[in-house]
Structure 1
Amino acid sequence: MSTFSYGGQYLSRKGQEHLYLYPALNSVGGDSGFGDGDTSYARSQIPKERETMKISPRTSDDDDELPPYGVRPSKRRTTNLQTMMHILKGNIGTGILAMPNAFMHSGIYVGLITLPIFAFLCTHCMHILTRSNRLLNRRIGCGMLDYQDVMEHCLTIGPKPIRKYSRLAGRMVNVFLLITQFGFCCVYSLFVAENLSKFMLETQGSNFEFSTKTYLAMLLPFFILLSFIRSLKHLAIASSLANFLQTIGLFIVMFNLVQDLPPTSTVKPWGSIRTFPLYMGTAIYAFEGIALILPLQKEMNEPESLGGKIGVLNASMTIVACMNTAIGFYGYLKFGDSVAGSITLNLPSEPLYQYCKLMFACAILLSYSIQYYVPFHIIWTCILNKYQLKERVTRPTRLSLEFTLRTILVVMTIALAALVPRIDLFIPLVGALSSSCLALIFPPLIDICVRWEEETSYKRWVWLFTKNVFIFLVGVFGFTAGSYASIENIIDQFSHN
């Protein structure tokens, strides 16, 4: 982590108002080096004068004049192809395997039409985040930030009545990031347990016919051991192996889905309004990689190539959208209303498909530690700073506390997964409750705040405001209706058991 402090300097530009350059954080990306908490969590200290400071008006044509992307540490950067692979990995996981179940809730044609729309909205919000980061860098010299810092800083230059809530807004983003990542951990553990259970039942017979909760308990030591990995270098090895297994698995799944397809008249063309929020929660879950975008851009050798109509982001998300749509469409068409929470559970009991289940189980098991890494270090770094553990306790004691916390958090995620031991019930809940906020609710608010002082035409401002309000309302609908429908579905399922 690098903190670029500009002290209390002022910048004068060709007769414009002076801009206060307060200390700002260029927070961590994928290589935070948090191992022992050796990197302090330096949040930007926004001056009290922020309520009255004047920001130079911007015009909508200034985007072409944006400066280079801040200071970069002298280390090896990622290429455009590597960044694309990271975006694909961040958006292709358990969500894509749940898309056939989502199409069951929406109907095959409704899903086919609306899924690309959700992909477009989520991708557009990713562009909003990267653009807002650049504008903040230009206007207040804050360097390159992460999601929560962009949210915090944008409020400081937005409408005056909400500026005092900037720090609270940044913390809210952090809270939803924690909920999302721990939700992913719960989904991943359920996925591994369900697929391993299916594999053992098909290969070993009824002697291994245990419940999902039993398999979660059996797998708990492995999840704990994976959570003990503190080196990103070792996590990268696990990620590479997981990518390899997932890629092979997806080819096998798609090979099965396109064979012996029934006519589309055998499935529902559209679902009910009552189940549509469940589909929406899963769809947003599948495209919720927005928290990765700024850290990935910060590590790029050519960060400006991420945006643009044919940039890395659009190319990556187009591939993600096509894959999700294909798996969802063909999966639901082939298995109809009997489709499971993960399409792998519907694969035949043949050796090729049995080992496909095992490959996916191993891949997601390895990916658990990667998803767990982010929320743990947010919590651990806050604890280190709040209680000043680096100064007060010795390194062995600090390590003991760290591993204890790692164990407790893993047990909590597994226990939460055991409360709702079905992946088709958990994914829509995570997507609606947290992913909708990060992907669709926060970005429009950020866009309005960053553009608040811009000098632009009335028609353009009306368009920007209308567009952002529409995306915001879609996100609010997904949050409220999706959460309600998911909780109601969980209650209904358990009441009938």
Structure 2
Amino acid sequence: MPGENVKMEPVGASKQQGEDDGDDYDPHLHRDVESPTTNAETLIHLLKGCLGTGILAMPEAFKRSGMSCGIVSTFLIGILCAYCLNTLVKSQYVICKRLKVGLLTYPESMKVACEIGPKCLNRFAPHAPLIVNIFLIVYQLGICCVYIVFVGANVKAVADYYMPPEKQIALPLFMLIFFIPFLAIICIRNLKLLAPFSVVANIITFVTFGVVCYYVFQNLPEFSKYESFGTLVDYPLYFGTTLFSLQAVGVVIALENNMATPKSFLGPFGVLNIGMGLVTVIYVGMGMMGYWQYGKDIKASVTLNFPPADYLAQAINIMYSIAIYISYGLQGFVPVQLLWSNYIVQRLEDSQHKLRWEYLLRFGCVVVTFVLAMTIPLLGLFISLVGSFCLSALGIAFPAIIELCAYWPDKLGPCRYVLFKDILLIIIGVVGLLAGSYSAILAIVTELTK
């Protein structure tokens, strides 16, 4: 991962260096990037990273929030996500400038932030990288679980049409059919081998969106019959799903670190804001149109609402499942690398069986994701749980903590507005995590005990 081998200077020395506002050190000029990306390539990667399974779950999210509330709230959450991502990237730049290093990983940034921030946070500095890595690993494994449930549900929808009811297989057992293919793709250690398949997956993704539009725009019912607001109990579930869909904190950090012109990433019309603006508009459109077409009958993935007898619907369910299957290899690569690089390989320095242990780790990750997916085969609620628990912290609370520490104690702006603003963001993140996770777990338990 970028910045993993950065040599950090003692914090005390860094404080002295950082207090010189006239310091000409520019971290962007001290990055060693082998294949930097252009602004256009970065924008394309950003869109690809944000447009995943979450977009097909947005219509169900609108069912939970209500039509008007969903439209407004999705725009507001999109703005919140974009703002927090901007905050994170800016704060990392400030910390890198203070330490005189080219770049830092997210866990490293959190550790240094706790070291240079308020005294009450200093004690958490040694544990900060572990905390961030836990959330990152749980988030990535959660995405893998969502992908398994998505593939199983969509392929099963096609298979069930051709099988009599008494021979249909339950979803958890149906997912088990794909264990070996998922294990095979996560065992690919060289991501370059997946690159051609990723291109195919991207083409399938955009074709799928076109087919979704074909179905959801046909014979729309009266718009006025839909409730403007959902219930307060269901709103945290909507929040978790939308946050899962819109937030791409891991992608954003990696993309900014690998840009040829990283200064173009931020700014009112920078790559980040343009990308997040487009993504938010697309998500609002998908959520509104899907809910408008199918109403209360909307399912966890809008593709499951397509007429099961239509060959086009069957084809798109299979094709998009293939695209998501390919993406599993990419998403699963992240937790494997985090666990292997940070916690395992150091313990195997003298071992002659490192490769064997690495494959065992990959096998273990697949087993964990399959066990969770088969235990909780509820696509929509799983998405909401992952979004609420992981991204409320990674995408909202943690960036606010890093910014507060980066500008602590004398650069918090007039009336220390940065302090109060970041405290508000931390509260939003904590409330979103607790309320969203509780609502999702309660809903999951209710569904499983029916």
- Per the normalisation by structure 1, the TM-score is 0.86
Unaligned runs of 5+ in 1: 3-25, 28-41
Are 1:474 and 2:432 an aligned pair? no
Q: Which has the higher contact order (CA 8 A, sep 6+)?
A: 2
Tell me the equivalent position of 1:370.
Answer: 330
Is it true that 1:274 corresponds to 2:233 in the alignment? yes
Q: CA deviation at 1:287?
A: 1.4
Residue 486 (structure 1) aligns with: 440
Q: Deviations over 1:448-483 (max 9, x none)?
A: 111113446533x22x22322222222112101101
Asked whether 1:292 is paired with 2:251, we answer yes
Measured at CA, do residues 205 and 310 of structure 1 come closer, stay the same or move farther in structure 2, by a change above 3 Å? Answer: farther
Displacement of 1:297 after TM fit?
Answer: 1.2
Matched residue SS, 1:172: helix
8 Å contact from structure 1 (residues 133, 145) kept in 2: yes
**Rounded Cα–Cα distance in structure 1 between residues aligned with 2:266 and 2:100:** 21
Q: What is the aligned partner in structure 1 of residue 396 from structure 2?
A: 440
Counterpart in the other structure of 2:357: 401
> Residue type of the partner of 1:158?
G
Query: What does 1:88-127 align with in structure 2 at a 5 Å threshold?
Result: 88-127=47-86
1:322 is aligned to 2:276:
no
Residues 13-48 of structure 1: per-residue CA shift (max 9 Å, x gap): xxxxxxxxxxxxx23xxxxxxxxxxxxxx475664x
Are the equivalent residues in 2 in contact too, given 1:58–1:454 (CA < 8 A)?
Answer: no
Task: Quote the offset at 1:68 in angstroms.
Answer: 5.0
Residue in structure 2 matched with residue 358 of structure 1 by the alignment: 318
Worse-matched range after superposition: 345-354 or 69-78:
69-78
Q: How does 1:87-486 map to 2 (within 5 A)?
A: 87-203=46-162, 206=165, 209-349=168-308, 350-387=310-347, 389=348, 391-394=349-352, 397-455=353-411, 457-459=413-415, 461-462=416-417, 464-486=418-440
* Partner SS for 1:271: coil
Point out the more displaced range, 414-423 or 145-154. Answer: 145-154
Paired positions, count: 449
Residues 167 and 109 from structure 1, CA distance in 2 versus in 1: closer, same or farther, beyond 3 angstroms?
same
SS in 2 for 1:261: coil
Deviates more, 1:447-456 or 1:218-227: 447-456
Distance in 2 between residues matched to 1:431 and 1:330, nearest whole Å: 22
Q: Please say which of residues 136-145 and 181-190 is displaced more in the overlay.
A: 136-145
Other structure's SS at 2:28 match:
coil
Contact 2:27-2:100 within 8 A present in 1 as well: no
Give the Cα separation in 2 of the matches to 1:240 and 1:401: 31
CA 1:344 to 1:428, structure 2 compared with 1: closer, same or farther past 3 Å?
same
Q: CA distance change for structure 1 residues 448 and 415 in 2, over 3 Å: closer, same or farther? A: same
Q: What is the CA distance between 1:206 and its match in structure 2?
A: 4.6
CA distance in 2, matches of 1:180, 1:173: 10
After superposition, the Cα gap between the structure-2 partners of 1:265 and 1:74, relative to the gap in structure 1 and judged at 3 Å, is closer
3-state SS in 1 of match to 2:124: helix
Distance 1:114 1:224, change over 3 A: same
CA contact (8 A) 2:27 2:96 kept: no
- Cα contact 2:27–2:103 (8 A) shared by 1: no
Q: Which runs of 5+ in 2 are unaligned?
A: none
What is the RMSD of the two structures over their aligned residues, measured on CA atoms? Answer: 2.1
CA offset digits 1:68-106 (Å, max 9, x no partner): 514233633111111111111111111111000101111
AA aligned to 2:357 is L
Structure (1/2) with the larger helix percentage: 2
Match of 1:423, as an amino acid?
L
| Equivalent position SS for 1:98 | helix
Displacement after TM superposition at 1:129 (Å): 1.2
Deviation at 1:186, TM superposition (A): 0.2
Identity %: 31
Q: Secondary structure at the match of 1:301?
A: coil
**Aligned in 2, Cα 1:141/1:495: closer, same or farther, shift over 3 Å?**
same
CA distance in 2, matches of 1:95, 1:266: 26
Aligned-partner Cα distance in 2 for 1:174–1:406: 17
